[in-house]
Amino acid sequence: MIIAAAPSTALDPPITKQAEDIDKIWDLNLYLGLAVVAFVVLLVLFVTIRYRRRDENLPSQTRYSLPVQITYTLVPLAIIGALVAITFVSVSAIEDVDKKTPDLVVDVTAFQWQWAFAYPEAGIEVVGGPADDTPTLVLPADSTVQFNLESLDVVHSFWITAFRFKHDIIPGSPSTFSVEINDQLGDFPNAGVCAEYCGLDHAFMRFGVQVLPPDQFEAWLGEQRSSTEDDS
């Protein structure tokens, strides 16, 4: 996963409560890993300097030190056990959001090579055009949103970096997931990408994400609805 290569600060800020959790797990892994690296480097430096070659200054030679062996077995096991436990708890909390009643349902349709976002309760749809004409997924802050994903042709992957979460979209196999949008308002152009190579214009399968306060979101829905009615 590409997100593993970049520290969380290099990405758009997390815009879901689940993304905040994922960032916390990432940071915990990062800082624990750095602590282990620092410990090993300090030990190597200490031994290199303290026991550099001098005539009679050999370190004391100890074999089979049970306390040391127990310590260096148990400490890493405890660290890994804690990380696995924290990850399991967070992942099941992320999955539990699917059981909540959503405030908003968005039907996401991926196709070569664009996205369509339909808001079935409002009866509107935002569709991207070719190449530069990227659609914007508009979401209300402080709400639970359920995404229903469908592909019209090949495998795509729905990835909003600010969600810290991607979801493959397999043709013929609609899927769904829910997130809780937090109160981070903003406009994130190009925050959404197709993360599964899907042919010639895969690179242009991008979309913007905009998070509005709930009242402005309702106003936006109203505008879209009336412009759709004007068109027809």
Segment interacting with Cu ion (CB under 5 A) among 54-62, 96-104, 144-152, 205-213: 205-213
Say if strands 124-127 and 156-160 run parallel, antiparallel, or are unpaired. unpaired
Tokens 């200490």 found at: 46
Give dist(CA 179, CA 100) in Å, integer: 10
d(CA 203, CA 210): 21
Selected from 194, 209, 211, 221, the binder of Cu ion by CB under 5 A is 194
198 near Cu ion (CB under 5 A): yes
- Select 162 or 205, whichever has its Cβ closest to Cu ion: 205
Q: Which of 18, 117, 140, 156 binds Cu ion (CB under 5 A)?
A: 156
Q: Choose, by CB under 5 A, the member of 205, 209, 211, 212 that binds Cu ion.
A: 205
Other C-beta atoms lying within 10 Å of the C-beta of residue 163 = 23
Q: How far is the CB of 204 from Cu ion (least distance, A)?
A: 10
Between 102 and 166, CB nearer to Cu ion: 166
Total interface residues for Cu ion by CB under 5 A: 4
> What is 69-81 written as a DSSP string?
HHHHHHHHHHHHH
How far apart are CB 37 and Cu ion at their closest, in Å?
A: 37
Taking the complex as a whole, how short is the minimal distance between the CB of residue 2 and Cu ion, in angstroms? 15
Assess 149 for contact with Cu ion (CB under 5 A). Answer: no
Question: Hey, is 161 helix, strand or coil?
Answer: helix
Cβ distance to Cu ion smaller for residue 205 or 221: 205
- Tokens of residue 221, six digits: 């829905």
Q: How far apart are CA 23 and CA 46, in angstroms?
A: 34
Query: Binding to Cu ion by residue 195, rule CB under 5 A?
Result: no
Residue 20 CB, nearest distance to Cu ion (Å)?
27
Query: Exposed (0-12), middle (13-18) or buried (19+): which is 52, by Cβ within 10 Å?
Result: exposed
Q: Which residues bind Cu ion (CB under 5 A)?
A: 156, 194, 198, 205
